């Protein structure tokens, strides 16, 4: 997003866990702040120094330590790039349990530190479930070796969980043990045009019931997002007349063990949807080839790029109840209109898309330029809306440096006080990624 520019002059690139340990010891003694950095693909400034801290790049810790093709358990160093790991396990017929747009440059250590969600969460669950063990260098240089390859281990507090999503504020993740699922033999997708947002939830229920265990994505795109994606050349799956009268779109993906079974289930679903007395969808297009499959995904994944071509984006990544997705988007648009900010020289579009299955809405406000009055109109407005719904102000992007002030909208004073105590246990001198997640006191 180009909003964060670090001021650090020193970047260290250790090659071993032992070297990380020595760096941390040295910094801890001298009370020097350290910012662990993976692929630097985060969206909330989590891996950017705020006050001349040392940058600790994990890029050179990039070896796979082991892979067991029977259990599917992979042990990799933190600096391994997600795509490389995907390529590594592919010949063994396994896939990584996470997949995200930044896969070509993000690193597994960063994925774990930020508890990355992404496109496969609906199917394979969160990293809190799939990460089996971690190796972490604590701020004082101690190496915490919990790099177990056990699926089950009930021997005391599950300390590794604290580092998942701590954004490098409790220690430096140097190694990850993760369960990789068997690769599906077939993937199919279909795009559905819906006459009304009110049909999304009944549709989700129907799709879950019909596709059951082969459902691997259920992505929502509102009309504004769809039109922008198409305008900027991101996929063009539906004809003008098929799109006519559609208020929103849903992309459904299946992944399963046998192509003919999956196709039969998907065809039956479409049949059921189209022939219903009161159809939930206007139309549906099933991908017929790998090229079409990619083209449908390009539509969904291309929204980000379309938005960046269109103007300056304020991006909110929130969790709210599924039923309120549209109200939140429309409400934000009306709020901006009431402030006189909805016009060509201010906010051009307000749009929403995201993972319905996870309750995760990406709310984008596309403006002609970043303006203080837009910022002031959006915050705390959006955070208050989220808090009203008991939602999350950051579903998957994290807190970083950008949202520390907003943490109380999602976490109680009791929770934040406990987080500070935990931080003090691991990092009494406050040298680990200072000013991230928790505001400096």
Q: Segment 2-61, which members bind its own copies (CB under 8 A)?
A: none
Closest distance of CB 3 from its own copies, Å: 19
Beta bridge partners of 143: 137
Nearer to its own copies (CB atom), residue 21 or residue 332: 21
Residue selected from 8, 22, 125, 379 as contacting its own copies according to rule CB under 8 A: 125
8 Å CB contact between 229 and 299: yes
> Hey, which residues between 419 and 438 contact its own copies (CB under 8 A)?
419, 421-423, 425-426, 437-438
- Straight-line distance from the first to the last Cα atom of the chain, in angstroms, rounded to the nearest whole number: 27
The CA distance from 247 to 330, in Å, is 12
Structure tokens that stand for 211 in this block: 């596709």
- Within positions 324 to 363, which residues make up the interface with its own copies, using CB under 8 A? 355, 357-360
84 or 146, CB closer to its own copies?
A: 146
Bridge partners for 364 per DSSP:
315, 351
Give the per-residue contact string, 65-94, with its own copies (x = CB under 8 A; - = no): ----xxx---------------------x-
Show the tokens assigned to 19.
């070297």
Quick one: which of 84, 146, 308, 324 contacts its own copies (CB under 8 A)? Answer: 146
DSSP tag of 158: -
- Per CB under 8 A, the list member of 154, 275, 288, 289 interacting with its own copies is 154
Q: Does 155 bind its own copies (CB under 8 A)?
A: yes
Contact 234, 305 (CB under 8 A): yes
- Residues of this chain, 370-409, that bind its own copies according to CB under 8 A: 390-399, 403, 407
DSSP code for 235: -
Using the minimum distance from each CB to its own copies, give the nearer residue, 6 or 359: 359
CA distances from 268 to 207, 214, 273, 276, 298 (A): 11, 14, 9, 12, 25
Stretch 222-251 residues interacting with its own copies (CB under 8 A): none
Minimum distance from residue 243 beta carbon to its own copies (Å): 26
Could you tell me the smallest distance in angstroms from the CB atom of residue 218 to its own copies? 11
What is the smallest separation between the CB atom of 107 and its own copies, expressed in angstroms? 17
CB of 41 to its own copies, least distance (A): 15
Please answer whether residues 45 and 56 qualify as being in contact, where contact means their C-beta atoms are separated by less than 8 angstroms: no
By CB under 8 A, what part of segment 188-207 binds its own copies?
201, 204-205
Contacts of 192 by beta carbon, 8 Å cutoff, 6+ apart: 203, 249, 250, 251, 252, 273, 281, 283, 284
């Amino acid at each position: 997003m180009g909003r964060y520019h670090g001021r650090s002059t020193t970047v260290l690139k250790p090659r071993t866990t032992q070297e990380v340990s020595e760096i941390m010891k040295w910094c801890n003694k001298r009370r020097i702040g350290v910012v662990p950095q993976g692929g630097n693909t985060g969206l909330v400034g989590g891996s950017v120094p705020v006050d001349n801290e040392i940058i600790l790049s994990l890029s050179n810790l990039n070896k796979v330590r082991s892979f067991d093709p029977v259990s599917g358990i992979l042990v990799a160093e933190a600096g391994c790039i997600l795509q490389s790991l995907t390529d590594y396990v592919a010949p063994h017929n396994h896939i990584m349990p996470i997949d995200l747009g930044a896969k070509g440059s993000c690193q597994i250590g960063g994925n774990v530190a930020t508890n990355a969600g992404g496109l496969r969460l609906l199917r394979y669950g969160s990293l809190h479930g799939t990460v089996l063990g971690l190796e972490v260098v604590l701020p004082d240089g101690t190496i915490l070796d919990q790099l177990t390859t056990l699926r089950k281990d009930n021997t005391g507090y599950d300390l590794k969980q604290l580092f998942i999503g701590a954004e490098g504020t409790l220690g430096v993740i140097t190694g990850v043990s993760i369960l990789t699922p068997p690769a599906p033999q077939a993937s199919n997708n279909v795009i559905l045009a819906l006459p009304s947002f009110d049909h999304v939830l009944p549709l989700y229920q129907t799709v879950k019931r019909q596709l059951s265990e082969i459902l691997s994505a259920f992505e929502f795109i509102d009309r504004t997002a769809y039109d922008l994606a198409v305008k900027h050349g991101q996929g063009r799956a539906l004809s003008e007349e098929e799109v006519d009268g559609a208020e929103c779109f849903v992309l459904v993906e299946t992944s399963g063990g046998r192509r003919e079974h999956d196709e039969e289930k998907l065809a039956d679903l479409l049949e059921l949807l189209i022939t219903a007395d009161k159809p939930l969808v206007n139309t549906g297009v099933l991908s017929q080839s790998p090229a079409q499959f990619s083209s449908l995904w390009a539509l969904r994944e291309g929204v980000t790029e379309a938005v960046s071509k269109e103007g300056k984006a304020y991006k909110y990544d929130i969790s709210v109840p599924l039923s309120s997705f549209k109200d939140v988007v429309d409400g934000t648009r009306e709020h901006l209109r009431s402030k006189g900010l909805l016009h060509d020289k201010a906010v051009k579009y307000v749009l929403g898309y995201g993972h319905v299955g996870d309750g995760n809405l990406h709310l984008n406000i596309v403006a002609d330029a970043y303006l203080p009055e837009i910022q002031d109109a959006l915050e705390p407005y959006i955070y208050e809306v989220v808090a009203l719904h008991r939602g999350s102000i950051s579903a998957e992007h994290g807190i970083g440096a950008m949202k520390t002030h907003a943490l109380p909208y999602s976490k109680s004073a009791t929770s934040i006080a406990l987080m500070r105590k935990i931080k003090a246990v691991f990092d009494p001198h406050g040298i680990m990624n200072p000013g991230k997640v928790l505001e400096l006191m």
